[in-house]
Amino acid sequence: MMASAVAIAAPVPVVRRDRQRLIEKLAGCGFAFPAFLLLLLTNLVPLAVLLYLSFTNYELGALDTRFLGLDNFRKAVTDPVLRRSLANTFVYVAIVLPGAVGLGLLIAVLLHRRKRTRTFYEVVYFLPVTSTLIAMATVWQFILHPNLGPVNGMLRAMGFGEIAFLSEPAYVLPTLAAIGIWQLVGFNMVLFLAGLSAIPRDLYEAAEIDGCRSGIDRFLTITWPLLGPTTMFVIITTSITAFKVFDTVAVMTRGGPMGSSEVLLYAIYLEGYQYFHMGYAAALTLIFLAFVLLFSILQTFVLERRVHY
């Protein structure tokens, strides 16, 4: 009788443990559900709608929609406007990426050893990040104005001719890229400063004892290799931000002159909200998202091999 009673009572703790685990799992799902619901409503559902619209001829305000299959994507392959906007986007990224990363690293290295004036310079360089780019684009329009702007005023005072920064096809894209660098340098500087602060000072002291006393030698042998993870993150975030350029183009040039500053996102905006071709704009958006994703993955794999953790 005693043995049978023990045998019957033994499974009770196991049942309690299973019930406790079930309660913990349900509680965890309950805590995670609001975040999942927010992700579903703000990301997954719009992405699904975008995917559906890319296969249709939907126009903004139209009541009838027809399924087109891959016609929008075939049109995108042969669209000369899309090829021109892609080329302009590549040129913009090719200027902004090395400029914003290189200047951010240079400024961070110069400020890292400062004590009294470091906070002042950090605030000065970070101000463009906190400012509204659309408002600052209006300010830049005045600064670069051919007749009223102070930049051309300085050029005239130095004996040079006026330069139409925003109306000359040869100058407009580099000018927009310079504004993009101006906005991104402060953010990259803060990231590099955080990476520099994580490098142990003992390494520099040991390198100095070993004869590595030049600042350039210390940078190449210690600072640059140990900044590998930070540099990889800065390059990827800067390239994604550069690919998403839209505000300055929409406010300052509207894709002109003669389409020389029409970038990919602005071309998508024109197709969707100027010409009301929402189906074709959705297909271009998917192409843009796929391209940025593949470019980021490629950068990660290439840079990962050269990063020292």
* Lowest pLDDT segment from 1-5, 44-48, 252-256, 268-272: 1-5
Same domain, 48 and 150: no
Give the phi and the psi of residue 56 in degrees, each rounded to 5.
-125, 175
Residue 274 belongs to a domain? yes
Same domain, 130 and 258: yes
Residue 301: the pLDDT is 80
Same domain, 31 and 142: no
134/140 Cα distance (integer angstroms): 10
Same domain, 250 and 285: yes
Residue 17: the pLDDT is 81
124/130 Cα distance (integer angstroms): 11
Number of domain units in the chain? 2
CB 57 within 8 A of CB 279: yes
Residue 186: the pLDDT is 92
The string of pLDDT tens digits covering residues 69-117 is 889 999 998 999 999 999 999 999 999 999 999 999 999 998 888 888 8
pLDDT category, 68, cuts 50, 70, 90?
A: confident
122/115 Cα distance (integer angstroms): 11
The string of pLDDT tens digits covering residues 204-250 is 778 777 777 777 878 888 888 888 889 889 998 999 999 999 989 99
- Computed over every residue of the chain, the mean pLDDT equals 86
177/165 Cα distance (integer angstroms): 12
For range 296-302, the mean pLDDT? 81
Write the CATH number for 214. 1.10.3720.10
Length of the chain equals 309
Same domain, 125 and 260: yes
Same domain, 164 and 27: no
For range 110-130, the mean pLDDT? 87
Same domain, 204 and 246: yes
Residue 2: the pLDDT is 46
The string of pLDDT tens digits covering residues 245-278 is 998 999 899 888 888 999 999 999 999 888 888 9
Residue 309 belongs to a domain? no
Residue 265 belongs to a domain? yes
Residue 193 belongs to a domain? yes
Same domain, 38 and 131: no
Residue 150 belongs to a domain? yes
Residue 12: the pLDDT is 53
Same domain, 23 and 95: no
Range of the domain at 27: 14-53
CB 207 within 8 A of CB 218: yes
Same domain, 27 and 107: no
Residue 64 belongs to a domain? no
Write the DSSP symbol of residue 160. Answer: P
The string of pLDDT tens digits covering residues 140-175 is 989 998 888 898 889 888 888 888 888 888 899 999
Same domain, 131 and 18: no
Residue 8 belongs to a domain? no
The string of pLDDT tens digits covering residues 167-201 is 888 899 999 999 999 999 999 999 999 998 888 88
pLDDT category, 294, cuts 50, 70, 90?
A: confident
Proportion of the chain in helix, strand, coil states, percent, rounded to 5: 75, 0, 25
pLDDT at residue 137 is higher than 90: no
Same domain, 195 and 268: yes
Write the DSSP symbol of residue 262. Answer: -
77/235 Cα distance (integer angstroms): 28
Distance of CA 23 to the CA centre of its chain: 41
Residue 164 belongs to a domain? yes
Residue 211: the pLDDT is 73
